[in-house]
Amino acid sequence: MFLPITREEMEQRDWYYVDFALVTGDAYVDHPSFGAAVIARVLEAEGFRVGIIPQPDWRRDEDFTRLGRPRYAFLVTAGNLDSMVSNYTSWKKKRKEDAYSPGGKPGRRPDRATIVYTRRLKELYPEVPVIIGGLEASLRRFAHYDYWSDSVRPSILVESGADLLVFGMGELQIKEIAARLKKKRPLSELRDIAGTAFILPLAEARRLAEEKKGEARSPLLIPSYEEVKASKEKYAEAFRTQYEEQNPFTGRPLIQPHGEMAVWQNPPARPLTTEELDRVYELPYERYYHPAYEKEGGVPAIEEVEFSLVSVRGCFGGCAFCALYMHQGPIVQYRSKESLLREARRLIASPRFKGYIHDVGGPTANFRRPACRAMTLRGQCRKRLCLFPRPCPNLEVSHREYLEILRELRRLPGVKKVFVRSGLRYDYIMADPEDEFLWELCRHHVSGQLKVAPEHADPGVLKVMRKPGPEVFRDFVHKFREINRKLGMEQYLVPYFISAHPGAGLKEAVRLAEFIRDMRFSPEQVQDFIPTPGTVATCIYYTGIDPFTGEKVYVPRSEEERRMQRALLQYKNPRNWPLVRKALRLAGREDLIGYGPRALVPPEEGKKRRK
- Residue-wise pLDDT tens digits, 390-434: 999 999 999 999 999 999 999 999 999 999 999 899 999 999 999
Among 195, 212, 230, give the residue marking a domain's end.
195
**Which domain-ending residue is among 139, 160, 195?**
195
457 to each of 392, 465, 468, 545, how far by Cα in Å? 22, 11, 9, 21
pLDDT at res. 127:
97
DSSP single-letter state for residue 469? -
CB 355 within 8 A of CB 417: yes
**Residue numbers of the chain with a pLDDT score lower than 70:** 606-611
Say what the pLDDT of residue 525 is. 79
Q: Give the model's pLDDT for residue 214.
A: 87
- CA nearest 395: which of 462, 324, 341, 318? 318
Find out whether 42 and 50 touch, Cβ atoms under 8 Å. Answer: no
Per-residue confidence (pLDDT) for residue 611, from 0 to 100: 45
603 φ/ψ angles, rounded to the nearest 5 degrees: -65, 170
Residue count of the chain: 611
- Whether residue 115 lies inside any domain: the answer is yes
Tell me 291's DSSP state.
G
Residue 198: φ, ψ to 5°: -160, 170
Based on the number of CB atoms within 10 Å of its own CB, is 266 exposed (0-12), middle (13-18) or buried (19 or more)? buried
pLDDT score of 406? 98
Phi, psi of 460 (to 5 degrees): -65, -40
Whether 535 is covered by a domain: the verdict is yes
In-domain check, residue 334 = no
Which pLDDT does position 609 carry in this prediction?
47
Q: How far apart are CA 507 and CA 587, in angstroms?
A: 5
For the chain, the domain total comes to 2
Other CB atoms within 10 A of residue 606 CB: 15
Say if 75 falls within a structural domain.
Answer: yes
Task: Give the list of residues 6+ apart from residue 369 with CB closer than 8 angstroms, or none.
Answer: 332, 334, 396, 398, 401
Boundaries of domain holding 84: 7-195
Report the amino acid identity of residue 207: R
**176 occurs within a structural domain:** yes
Dihedral (CA of 314, 317, 320, 322) sign: negative
Helices (H) and strands (E) in the chain, counts: 25, 22
Any domain includes 52: yes
Question: How far is it, in rounded angstroms, from Cα 197 to Cα 256?
Answer: 11
Q: Around Cβ 599, how many Cβ atoms within 10 Å?
A: 18
Pairing of strands 312-313, 333-334: antiparallel
Residue 128: count of CB within 10 angstroms of its CB: 16
Q: CA 380 from chain center: how many Å? A: 18
CATH of the domain at 485: 3.30.750.200
DSSP summary character for residue 95: P
Residue 149 region by backbone torsions, left for phi larger than 0, else alpha for psi between -120 and 50, else beta? alpha
> Beta 196-201 vs 261-265: how paired, if at all?
antiparallel
What local confidence, expressed as pLDDT, does residue 610 receive? 46
Give the span between the Cα atoms of 527 and 506, in whole angstroms. Answer: 16
> DSSP readout, 88-148?
B-TTSPBPS--TTSGGG-S-SS-TTHHHHHHHHHHHH-TTS-EEEEHHHHHHTSSSEEETT
Task: Write down the pLDDT at residue 608.
Answer: 53
CATH number at residue 21: 3.40.50.2300
CA 564-543-463 angle, 5° bins: 65
In sequence order, the β-bridge partners of residue 132 are 76, 165
Q: Which residues contact 137 (CB under 8 A, 6 or more apart)?
A: 76, 77, 78, 114, 156, 162, 165, 166, 167
Distances (CA, A) of 216 to 108, 242, 267: 47, 17, 13
**pLDDT computed for residue 607 by the predictor:** 52
**Residues paired with 131 in a beta bridge:** 75, 164
> Are 31 and 352 in contact, with CB atoms under 8 Å apart?
no
Residue 516's nearest CA partner among 457, 577, 476 is 457
pLDDT of residue 437: 97
Q: Which of 195, 214, 232 is the last residue of a domain?
A: 195
State the Cα–Cα distance between residues 590 and 9, nearest whole angstrom: 67
CB atoms within 10 A of CB 439: 16
The Cα 142–Cα 497 span in angstroms is: 29
Does residue 317 form part of some domain?
no
Element (H, E) at 487: helix 470-487
Beta bridge partners of 133: 77
Other beta carbons less than 10 A from residue 494's beta carbon: 15
Classify residue 315: in a domain, yes or no: no
Is the bond into 351 cis (omega within 30 degrees of 0)? no
